[in-house]
Amino acid sequence: MARPVTRVSHVVEYAAARAAIGTLRLLGWRTAAAAGGALARLAYAPFGIRRDVVHQQLRASFPDWSDADIARTARASYDSLGRTSIETAVLAGASRDDVLRMFDDVVGWEHFERATQPGPNGEPASGAILVTGHLGNWELGGAFVAARGIGIDVIVRGMANPLFDRFLTGTRTALGMHVVHDSEAVRRTPRAIREGRLVAMLCDQDTAGLASTFVPFFGRLAKTPKGPAVLSRRLGCPVLFVAVTRLPTGRYRFAIDPVIAPVTGDREADGEAMVAAYTARLEAEVRKVPGQYFWQHKRWKRRPEHEAA
């Protein structure tokens, strides 16, 4: 993989970001997160950055909502994105105990234990593909798994600024995660699964160059990555859906749920069913806390060919 060119603008951006992160760390976790939320709410109003996109997608997803419901949830979404961004930035330097203290509620952890421990008769651990979306604080979820002593590979997409990309990679590695760039995922995931590790992937953004398919999401077809489904079928390992959502206390809930889809022997159809199944799980979680979803992304930008006209 070619190494990205570092430009002068990258150096300036990185220096500014590191200075801001250093200042935010001095404020403490809660105060820094609150400051991030307040700044992000300014992007909603008065600046209106992507506000039309957020309103449009919320109206289409919740057609029965009033204008007040739309505005309240949109504002909450900006707040959540700001908090998540700052929390992710100040993770650098956090200890294992710091990460563990950020969680109040854990549901379904036995699914991780089952996937990463040998069977009673010495059968090898199956490993598992983890899928999640841009909901709550998805980045913190990987750190929590690693802090509890379970091996996890996180599939990431490289950032435009190579200096900040290396900073985030170093942060994730220091917290115990194994970072794999998406261009290497197909090659490196089989080994991780054979070793009984967890491999985490985001499943709710259509990115050029990734194998995708259209499945329902809030009643409309959305182009969705097929990678988790393809790899799970190929490697014979389970798919587990993970939701890391913010509680009223400011701490988090970590919930794990197996993704079940029919197996017919038709590889293409079975893959499509799995993609639809984990997208349905994401929708169910978003409906619980819609103000914690990343509505700023144009989720339905790409359309199926039959709708192109």
| 239-246 vs 252-258, strand pairing mode | antiparallel
For the beta carbon of residue 174, count every other beta carbon within 10 angstroms: 15
| 198-202 vs 178-181, strand pairing mode | unpaired
> What band does 257 get if pLDDT is binned at 50, 70 and 90?
very high
Contact between 257 and 108 (Cβ < 8 Å): yes
Whether omega for the bond prior to residue 216 falls within 30 degrees of 0, making it cis, is no
> What band does 2 get if pLDDT is binned at 50, 70 and 90?
low
Quick one: tokens of 180? Answer: 């794999």
Domain ranges of the chain: 8-297
Torsion angles phi and psi, residue 181, rounded to 5: -75, 150
Contact between 24 and 90 (Cβ < 8 Å): yes
> What band does 208 get if pLDDT is binned at 50, 70 and 90?
low
How much of the chain exceeds pLDDT 90, in percent? 67
Whether omega for the bond prior to residue 238 falls within 30 degrees of 0, making it cis, is no
Q: In this structure, which amino acid lies at residue 46?
A: P
